Chains A and B, each alone.
Chain A
Amino acid sequence: MPTPRPEDARDADLHRRLVLGDRQAFEELYRRYSGAAFGLAHRVTGHELLAQEVVHDSYLALWRAPEAFDPARGPFRTFFLSLVHHRAVDTVRREERLRRRTERMNPGPVADEDVAEGIVEESWLADRRVRVRSALENLPAEQRQVLDMAYFRGRTQAQIAAELGVPLGTVKTRTLTAMRKLQRMLAEEDHE
């Protein structure tokens, strides 16, 4: 197993303290990831208030059951953003079901009258984003497309196949190939 990066080791330490109920550790994890979490939730839901609920519920889940994260299974960052992503996608699908049922239009993003919190993203997170973007840019366009539709638009693979007019097997193959390539490229970056 590779040596954890300093920022991942820091997260692991914060998590250990969080399990013991340390509010300061929770506060620091909020400061470190609330921007990324809110950015992701907003991108997936496309809605300010829904995104807020997703982030709120994600941090609530973390606070109430911090042991859901197992440090042996990877960095805290990827665990938490996956948690946010799943909740955001569930929210989108629930809203879509509701919208279909009530046959009303999505009211669209609501402007938040509250002022934004002064959280400044740390440089290591921005660095990681650059690495992920670089890896994504190395994927063929059709593989990027299925990842984008699945991940950021909350589509199932069956929905993607229908929207693109390609067999479901093609979507699955593109997804798997893309995930394997990304895994390999990001792992290589981690070992550099």
Chain B
Amino acid sequence: MTFEDHEAIVELLAGHALHALDEEEAARAEDLLASHVPSCPQCSATLEGFRSVAGDLGLMAGSRRPSRLLGLRIRRMTSSRKLAVWLGRSVGIAAALLVGAVLLWNLHLSGRVNRAEERQARTTEVLNTVSHPESRIVPFSAERSELESGAMTAAFLPGRHFLYVFGSLPDPAPGRVYQVWLSREGRFRTAGTFLPEAGLVLLRLTVNPAIYDGVLITEEPASGSKEPSDRRIVTAAF
């Protein structure tokens, strides 16, 4: 990647940190956040720096006393988070059994190697997402007869820039990988490739789910593909 390429990326990241990109550029930024940034220490550090500046800019608005009523509303809600409540939902239980039992985090997107110590935190993250009252839980439909529908699930929280994909898949054919695609108005963009671990999958995609209309998983050559092949495995529509 050239210096000019990096400058263009950093320019986009500055607008992203300020939440000042239009929809199309925001989608490009999301692409970069999922693909390039995690594997580029320079861009990663730049983004963190910009985010920090953006947070500090908020101080310039000055402090303003919130109403007592707002404080009461906010404090009241802290009495409502009980384990029994958020594990009470059936999807939450299913997910807890699945990911809690194996502590699996087999994300190989963009060649990023995840550290074992991240797994526990990420598992908690998925559990919190699927059990959140506002979460969207979308089961995948199987595109192959040998797979069961519902074996894979996508979950996200509106307003959050993470999409979780989890469930079970058999190993792909030798020399091949699974590839995740995000769809938008009939067009696909890759979110990376992965292999199940002991038949289980748990992925976190750093994207804004609101700007996509679905997810597709295909089987592709080990190097991944630029466009989804016709070897479709599962699909989910938001």
User: B59 contacts which of A119, A128, A182, A183 (Cβ < 8 Å)?
Assistant: A128
Are A56 and B67 touching (Cβ within 8 A)?
Answer: no
* Nearest neighbor of B132 in chain A, beta-carbon distance: A64
26 contacts between A and B (CB under 8 A): A30-B71, A36-B58, A36-B59, A39-B61, A52-B70, A60-B77, A67-B125, A75-B52, A80-B55, A90-B159, A116-B65, A118-B65, A119-B65, A121-B63, A126-B63, A132-B59, A147-B57, A150-B20, A157-B22, A172-B11, A175-B18, A176-B10, A179-B50, A180-B14, A183-B52, A186-B52
Are B59 and A129 touching (Cβ within 8 A)?
Answer: yes
Give complex CA distance A2, B78 in Å.
Answer: 34
Answer whether residue A155 sits at the interface, using C-beta atoms and an 8 A cutoff: yes
* Nearest neighbor of B10 in chain A, beta-carbon distance: A176
Answer whether residue B54 sits at the interface, using C-beta atoms and an 8 A cutoff: yes
Are B55 and A78 touching (Cβ within 8 A)?
Answer: yes
Residues of A in contact (CB 8 Å), total 77
* Nearest neighbor of A150 in chain B, beta-carbon distance: B20
Give complex CA distance A157, B16 in Å.
Answer: 10
How many B residues are at the interface, by size bracket?
35 or more
Give complex CA distance A140, B18 in Å.
Answer: 18
Are B15 and A157 touching (Cβ within 8 A)?
Answer: yes
Assuming the A-B contacts A67-B128, A74-B51, A121-B63, are A85 and B58 also in contact, with contact meaning beta carbons closer than 8 angstroms in the complex? yes
Are B52 and A56 touching (Cβ within 8 A)?
Answer: no
Are A151 and B57 touching (Cβ within 8 A)?
Answer: yes
Answer whether residue A68 sits at the interface, using C-beta atoms and an 8 A cutoff: yes
Q: Is the interface of B mostly helix, strand, loop or mixed?
A: helix
Q: Is the interface of A mostly helix, strand, loop or mixed?
A: helix
Assuming the A-B contacts A55-B66, A117-B68, A157-B21, are A26 and B59 also in contact, with contact meaning beta carbons closer than 8 angstroms in the complex? no
- Residues of chain B within 8 A (CB-CB) of A81 are 55-59
Assuming the A-B contacts A179-B53, A182-B53, are A39 and B64 also in contact, with contact meaning beta carbons closer than 8 angstroms in the complex? yes
Are B20 and A155 touching (Cβ within 8 A)?
Answer: yes
Answer whether residue B112 sits at the interface, using C-beta atoms and an 8 A cutoff: no
CB distance from A157 to the nearest CB of B (A): 5
- Residues of chain B within 8 A (CB-CB) of A67 are 121, 124-125, 128
Give complex CA distance A118, B71 in Å.
Answer: 10
* Nearest neighbor of A59 in chain B, beta-carbon distance: B74
Answer whether residue B106 sits at the interface, using C-beta atoms and an 8 A cutoff: no
Residue in B55, B125, B157 with the greatest tally of chain A CB atoms within 10 Å: B55
Beyond A74-B51, A151-B57, A175-B11, list 19 extra A-B contacts (CB 8 Å).
A34-B74, A63-B78, A65-B125, A74-B48, A77-B56, A89-B19, A114-B69, A119-B65, A121-B63, A126-B63, A128-B56, A129-B60, A132-B56, A132-B59, A151-B20, A156-B22, A175-B18, A176-B10, A182-B57
